[in-house]
A = this chain, B = another copy of it.
């Protein structure tokens, strides 16, 4: 199960926004894209999706950009995934049209596995990842010395 570029890019962008959340100043697509080495036109689409999903707010015009729609600790990663991949993707619904019993039995197990994964993605917030990042940076400095 590979993490899609899409999700990785989105989370990277959100991490930037989380880091600058205190400042209140919006970040521009260009900036984020440059910082995280993401194709900016592509990132634009992702941010648009995140905006429609209520995860970020945008400010148009000069000095515009994006800010998180709510505090970093109130945004679990699961929200990001369900926004991008669709909620039905995060937790696939077992269609009652269930062609055969076998298939629905398999789907149920699969669903349980997905829910287990989602539980993990639910418990980590952007804030958590930000902290992990700074902690890691500290470690790298220590190691350097």
Contact = CB atoms under 8 A, between A and B. Distances in A.
Contact of A109 (B37, B107, B113, B124): B124
A102 B140 CA distance: 13
Interface string A8-40: 100110010000000000000000000011000
A112 interface: yes
A122 B85 CA distance: 25
Given A92-B3, A120-B112, A121-B113, A103 B133 contact: no
A101 interface: yes
Copies of this protein in the assembly total 2
Contact of A105 (B85, B89, B121, B133): B133
Contacts of A132: 105, 108
B89 A1 contact: yes
A2 to B, nearest CB: 6
A85 B95 CA distance: 24
Contacts of A137: 101
A106 interface: yes
A77 interface: yes
A136 interface: yes
A82 B96 CA distance: 28
B101 A136 contact: yes
A15 B102 contact: yes
